[in-house]
Amino acid sequence: MMQQTTYTFSSASSTIYTDADIACLPEWVSGKPIIVTDEQVFAAQQHKLAAWPCIVLPAGEQHKTAATVDHLINQLVAMQADRSTTLVGVGGGVITDITGYAASIYMRGIPVGFVPTTILAMVDAAIGGKNGVDLGLYKNLVGTIRQPGFIACDLSLLQSLPREQWINGFAEIIKHACIRDADMFAVLEQHTPDDFRNNHDLLLQLINRNIALKCSIVQQDEFEKGDRKLLNFGHTIGHAIENTYGLLHGHAISIGMAAACRIAEEMNNFYSTAKDRVIALLQRYELPVSLSFDKKQVGDMVLMDKKRTGDIIHFILPETIGHAVIRPIGTDQFRDLLTQIF
């Protein structure tokens, strides 16, 4: 049974449908929809998308670039898209990021909505309005913050998801639990990825809980002046290694979260037992918790992170399970810590 909730942020509102059916798309869109998707999703869902005009992009993070956005915009011109068009991104986080960004700059902004096809996009990437593309190794260096008009989660679209992508989504769920929801952390400890894969209601409940958690943070701080920064837990180191080592986003931030826990422990800010519980939970969900990497190069990458201001990195550290804080760390101190924990 489809559920519908409208979240009002400071700039605009998003209506989120869960347990939705993509066949209901015409009800969610005002005006003429154009679907933006990737080759993999299109191949798997062609029968469900056939009713609408589609722009099909190459799949993968390596295509999340300004060149792909230029290509997409040229297609929109060729299709005479205008401000009465709604772009609908159907795909994972790469597609929702590209589509949201293109919609925010084409004709200085046209309506946009998302139908996420991965767990990661349903609980995180599609929500909150952050969009953008990478520049070389730098993640999301270019983009905007602009809310989609709607987000519709159709769980049947997850059926064709490879196991690796399924697992990938749990990294952001565990992140949410670590920073804001100790009860959900305990629920996750009692289950396995397969429990959620095999139980529609359990999965739906988990997705709803994560959407509500993220929306509540974005409602308080849409433009990331304060608490929204907490959602970057695991992302400072995660982003620095993601494109450098060609990791899946969930894998990269899992390693980043494990590293942040070790840094917190090192700074006498987080009990070893709590750190061990986070690492054990990541492993329970088959996520990696360490990586041998070039510390000089990763240190340099972090210097270009959006969370840096001058010589200070605003680093997210756990204090207890379910509660994280923003700590300013000098870039030199950060390089030292990186050497100590790995």
As a whole number of Å, the CA-based R_g of the chain is: 19
Q: Which stretch binds its own copies (CB under 8 A): 53-61, 180-188, 198-206, 307-315?
A: 307-315
- The two beta strands, 312-320 and 323-330, are antiparallel
Q: Is 225 in the site for its own copies (CB under 8 A)?
A: no
> Which of these, 332, 322, 318, 323, lies nearest to 267 by C-alpha position?
318
Would you count residue 138 as binding its own copies (CB under 8 A)? Answer: yes
Look up 172 and say whether it is catalytic. Answer: yes
Cα gap 269→263, rounded to integer Å: 9
Position 335 contacts its own copies (CB under 8 A) = no
Q: Which of 9, 17, 106, 114 binds its own copies (CB under 8 A)?
A: 106
Contact 213, 233 (CB under 8 A): no
Taking CB under 8 A as the binding criterion, the range among 33-41, 136-144, 227-235, 273-281 that sits at the site for its own copies is: 136-144
Indicate whether 94 belongs to the interface with its own copies (CB under 8 A).
no
Of 92, 128, 132, 148, the one binding its own copies (CB under 8 A) is 132
Q: How many residues bind its own copies (CB under 8 A)?
A: 32
Interatomic CA distance for residues 6 and 15, integer angstroms: 4
303 in contact with its own copies (CB under 8 A) = yes
Sign of the Cα pseudo-torsion (8, 11, 17, 23, in order): positive
- Residue 224 among the catalytic residues: yes
- Catalytic annotation present for 235: yes
Distance CA(175)–CA(185), nearest Å, equals: 9
CB of 105 to its own copies, least distance (A): 5
Binding-site member from 4, 8, 23, 70 for its own copies (CB under 8 A): 70
Q: Is residue 284 involved in binding its own copies (CB under 8 A)?
A: no
Pick the piece of the chain touching its own copies (CB under 8 A) from 50-58, 129-137, 196-204, 227-235. 129-137
Does 107 bind its own copies (CB under 8 A)? Our answer is: yes
First-residue to last-residue Cα distance in the chain: 48
Q: Is 177 in the site for its own copies (CB under 8 A)?
A: no
Find out whether 287 and 171 touch, Cβ atoms under 8 Å. Answer: yes
| 326 binds its own copies, rule: CB under 8 A | no
> Which listed residue (130, 139, 176, 209) is catalytic?
130
186 binds its own copies (CB under 8 A): no
Rule CB under 8 A: choose which of 15, 39, 44, 144 binds its own copies.
144
DSSP 8-state secondary structure symbol assigned to residue 231: G
Q: Please tell me whether residue 145 binds its own copies under the rule CB under 8 A.
A: yes
Q: Contact at 8 Å (CB) between 329 and 318?
A: no
The rounded distance, in Å, linking the Cα atoms of 86 and 29 is: 7
| Total number of residues shown for the chain | 342
Residue 183 found at the interface with its own copies (CB under 8 A): no
The packing angle between helices 163-180 and 182-189, to 10°, is 140
Residue 244 CB, shortest distance to its own copies, in Å, is 15
Spell 162-183 as b/e; 16+ CB within 10 A means b: eeebbbbbbbbbbbbbbbbbee
- Of 61, 222, 224, 265, the catalytic one is 224
Beta-carbon neighbour count of residue 280 at 10 Å? 11
* Residue 163 CB partners (closer than 8 Å, separation 6+): none
> Which stretch, 77-85, 90-98, 240-248, 269-277, contacts its own copies (CB under 8 A)?
77-85
* Interface contacts to its own copies, rule CB under 8 A: 11, 66, 70, 73-74, 77, 80, 82-84, 104-109, 130, 132, 135, 138, 140-145, 303-304, 306, 308-310
**Active-site annotation, residues:** 108, 130, 172, 214, 224, 228, 232, 235, 239, 249
